[in-house]
Structure formats: structure tokens, C-alpha cells
Structure 1
């Protein structure tokens, strides 16, 4: 295995980590309007929403680091891929970035002022800041696998609306429904009392459409772009989602979360395996396609990066694993203290 192959695999691993960890973060934000609604009236809505949000409170910002690392690795290891991707996908990637910024601000600011209107507005920031990237990441990666119009200058000459083709839209629907399911199972795993019960029920309801939509997408990917051995990945992802259907029906959220994780991993590996050895196929001519060989940095650069990754990666993994261990216990509405935000000024 050469350094180009190694770094292609490492970038795939970084995106796997991002989609597994940030995937349930998106799911939690997407489901706030549903699981944050109390049966006892609006007075308890904020408490429930704080329970839902606190499931990711200690870890969401650390999960985002996987995207920063993946972007940095992409820039350093495959600069031509990075340049073509970010110029050709400028608008969807900008929308993702803006949505992530809004979500960060909303999570940080919603509790600063003790006012229902203030919190409601920031809640919408969390919700939209979760839905937009959850959909657009699927659209973006589906287009990367499908290929876009890249000319001889390695420039994407197609427009934004060319990215909204049926395969890409199905990819966006897949990431949205799978992340929502992943988030519902995570909330069920991390909560107690009525929030836990509602999360289990919601996860059970989401599991069946997730099987249908994600199954259609991975099958289309395999038939159109996959390789012979990648049928194994299709089987793994499908079996994992079917297992989630069974496990959520009997409220086994721990194993269900393991299987939603396996499903995400299987789907991402399928996308990268279908792409290899290309990194951005051209629909104009195969001669214009970017591959791991014509888009990579120099061997010396890749060698230096490999040594840096060998030293730093274990440290990051150990630290993040320790964080999840420290905050492993369930939370409930009984654990939520009264709001301590500043009172809103009336004059």
C-alpha cells in the first residue's frame, strides 16, 4: 500500500468518525421539536428540551473536530481534490458552514437569558442548524460518488441545481433519516423517565422508513457505482438497520445504537469504496477525473503527515473516549436545575 492509498483510507476514517459522532448530534437537534414537547403543557417544554440538548452537551463540540481534521487532512494530502471540491461545491458547503455556525451560537446562547421567546428563537437555530447539514452532506457525497462536470482545468463547470439530481436527493434523504434515527436511539440511551420512553417509541417509528430510504440508496449506489466485494457492505448496512427495527421494538437501545453506528460505517465505507481510486470523477471525460494519484501532495508531504498522524491520533482517541466515559450516565428531567439565565429587560 502506498501513501496515497493510506491517506485515502485515513480520510475515509475521519469522515466515518465525523458522521458517526456528529450524526447523532444532528439527530438530537433535528428531534428537539418532537422530543422536547411535554404532555403536561408548555411549562415543561423547556425542561424536556434541556434534557434532550444535554445528552450531547459535553461532547458535541469535540465531535465537530473530526470535520476540521478531515478538512485539514484533505487539504494537505490531496490539495487538488480539496480545491476542486470546495470551488465546485461552494454553495452547498457554504450553507453547511453557515448552518453549523448558527447551531453553535444557538447551543451556547439559548440559556443566557431567562425568557421563553429568546430560547424558542435559538431552538430554531439548533433545529435548522441540524437539518441543513444532515441533508446537504448526503447530497454532497452522493454527487462526489456519481461524478460532476469537471473540465480539463480541473474546474467544476456544472451549476448548483445540477447537484440536485435524483440520486443526490435520495442521498440527502438517507443521511437525514439515518441521522434522525441515530439521534433518537442516542437520546433513548442517554435519558430516563418520560423522555426515554418517548425516544424509544420515536426510534421505533423512524426505523422502518430508514430501512426503506437508506436501503434504496445503498442499493442504487452498489448497482451504479459499486464493486463486486462491496455487496458485503450493502449486506452489513441492511442487516444493521433491520436489527435496529427489531431492537427498538423491544427497547434495547444500547444494542440499537451499536447497529445504527454499524449502518453509518457501512454506508460511508461503501461510498468511499465505490469512489476509489477516483476522488472526484468527471462526467465529461475519464481523463479529467481526479484520482488519488493525480490529486495528491508530494511523497515527502505525505510521509511527514503520516508520522504526525501516528503520534497524535492515539492521543485524540484516548482523550475523546475518556470524555464519553466520564459523561456516560443517563439524565432525566429531575436532573435539570431551574434556569439561571439573565432576566430579560422590560425597559
Structure 2
């Protein structure tokens, strides 16, 4: 296997890891007013992702950096053509981080409500736009022989991409609801379980439509198998949630996201950004890649440091594995919000 193929695979894994881990973060943020009916329950909800949300975003930084280093022409075309969409995502992620950090600085109901609204909005916007971006990458964009994007922001808002955005929005909301059911007990746990069936049904419909449409673009027997496996994992996760097996339900939705991402990247390969103007203008793993020497150095760096990062993040999840409830909120905080 050529190093260009290895790095395409590694970048696909990095983006998949980001979508799986940040997906439940986005879902928790979107569901904050639904499962957190009072200030204490909202604190419980946010505490479930408090120790891990910033670590989950590291996957985005590494994926973006790896794309820049391994496939600079892909990175350049993406960030010029998708500039406004990616800028909106970046602003949303910045606001989300600020909101999560600053929300608890004051014991004031109005202060909390405003930051809660920011958390909800800044979780929903990236959840939608990441799906739009990924769908456009797979579908292709208008691009000339110079590999310059020839469309506008509204070119990206085509029906296929919008369906992709709706699918990721719903899938992340479902992933977040199941994560909350896994990580909490008491009222937040019960409310999270109640929203799983309606969100789950909507997700099944949207995901089936999106993955089915994807197969009509450039599907193969491998992508059909991956899409079918994603569907089975989604249904299995919903059944496990119904049976009260939150751990298996979470594995089901996580596997659904991972297999859906695998379907998209497998459909994309060997392209990294197809051209809808002329297939000859498409960016591929060959013409978009860095030099062999650069890829060789990157490979050694990845071999050395990736296990360290994975071990540290795994340890973090292990330390903060306990379920949370209202009893875990300090008495002083409960009195302040009474």
C-alpha cells in the first residue's frame, strides 16, 4: 500500500474518531433544554461532557493538521471553496467553548439562560454543517483544471448535502441522548430515554435516505455492505436502548457513525475531492498529496505519538466513567439555584 493510501486511511480514521466523540458532545448540547428542566439538571447534563469535550476536539485539530500536511492541495481547495461554511463552524465551536467555560462563572439565572442558548445553537450548527460539508466532499463540487472551487456558498446547499446535514444533526442528537442515559441516573436519565424513540425514528428515515442516495453516486458492494452494517447497528442501538442496555445502545450509535463515515470515505476513494465539472479535474490521493519524504516523516511521528494520545484519552474516560445525578451537584450550588 502506498503512503498516500495509508494517509488517506489515517485521515478517514481521524475524522471518524472526531465524529463519534464530538457527536455525543453536540447531542448533549442540543438536548440541554429538553433533559435539563431546572438549573440542577442542566448542571448534571453539562457535567457529563465537562471532563472530555475539549479532548474530543483534539481529533478535529489533528485531522485538519494531517490533511494539511499529507494532502495540501485538498486542504487548500477545501478551505478556499468551503471558506464561509467552515468559518461558521469555527465561530460556533469557539462560542461553544466559551459558553461551556463561562456558564458557571456567575450564579445568576439570566446569565445561565443566555449561555445555555449559546450552547444549544453552537452545538446544532456544527452538527448540521459537518454533514453538509462531508456530503459535498463525496458528491463533488464544481472545480476547474486549476483545482479552484468554481461555486458559491449556496452551491453547497444542494438537496443531497442538506439531507446529509439533517442526518448528522439527528444522528448526533440520538448519540447524545443515549450517552446521557448511559452517564446519568434520576430525572435526566429518564428524560434522555424518553427522547430516544422519536429521534431514533427520524434518524432511521434520514440516514436510510442519505446512505441510499450516496450509493447511487458511486456505490460498490463494499459500500453497500458498510451502509447495511450501519443500518443494523442503528436499529440494534435503538433496541438496546428500549431494553435498558444503555452501554450496548451507545456502542450501537457509535458504530453507526463510524460505519456511515466509512461508507462515505470508501465511496470517495481514490478521489479526495471529485470535480462535477469534469472528472479529469478531480483531486485524488495521488495529485493532491505531499512528497514521499514528507509522508514518511509524518508516518513515523504518527507511529510514535498516536498511542500516547489514545492512552491518555482512554484514561480520561476511565477516570470519569461514573454515572452522575442531582446528588453530585454541591449543596451550595443547589441552594443558590433554588
Query: Is TM (by shorter chain) over 0.5?
Result: yes
Q: Which runs of 5+ in 1 are unaligned?
A: 38-44
1:191 Cα deviation after fit = 0.1
1:4 aligned to 2:30? no
1:56-75 to 2 correspondence within 5 Å?
56-75=49-68
Q: Deviations over 1:86-106 (max 9, x none)?
A: 000000000000000000000
- 2:28 aligned partner: 28
Inter-partner Cα distance in structure 1 for 2:97 and 2:178: 22
1:72-221 to 2 correspondence within 5 Å?
72-221=65-214
1:270 Cα deviation after fit = 0.4
1:273 aligned to 2:266? yes
- TM (normalized to structure 2)? 0.97
Secondary structure of 1:114's counterpart equals: coil
Q: Deviations over 1:106-156 (max 9, x none)?
A: 000001011100111111111111000000000000000000011112110
**Larger displacement relative to structure 2 (183-192 or 213-222):** 213-222
Inter-partner Cα distance in structure 2 for 1:251 and 1:206: 17
Inter-partner Cα distance in structure 1 for 2:193 and 2:246: 7
1:245 Cα deviation after fit = 2.3
1:203 Cα deviation after fit = 1.4
- The answer (yes or no) to whether the contact 1:145–1:225 under 8 Å persists in 2 is no
Inter-partner Cα distance in structure 1 for 2:279 and 2:206: 30
1:219 Cα deviation after fit = 1.0
- 1:302 aligned partner: 295
1:332 aligned to 2:328? no
1:238-253 to 2 correspondence within 5 Å?
238-253=231-246
Q: Deviations over 1:276-306 (max 9, x none)?
A: 0000000111111100000000000000000
CA RMSD, aligned part only? Answer: 1.2
Inter-partner Cα distance in structure 2 for 1:339 and 1:240: 43
1:209 Cα deviation after fit = 1.2
Between Structure 1 and Structure 2, how many residues are aligned? 335
- 1:16 aligned partner: 16
Secondary structure of 1:110's counterpart equals: helix
1:244 Cα deviation after fit = 2.0
1:339 Cα deviation after fit = 6.0
Inter-partner Cα distance in structure 2 for 1:198 and 1:282: 45
Inter-partner Cα distance in structure 1 for 2:168 and 2:19: 9
Counterpart of 2:230 (choices 231, 237, 240) is 237
- 2:250 aligned partner: 257
1:205 Cα deviation after fit = 2.5
Q: Deviations over 1:169-224 (max 9, x none)?
A: 00000000000000000000000011111111111221111111111111111122
- TM (normalized to structure 1)? 0.95
Q: Which runs of 5+ in 2 are unaligned?
A: none
- The answer (yes or no) to whether the contact 1:139–1:168 under 8 Å persists in 2 is yes
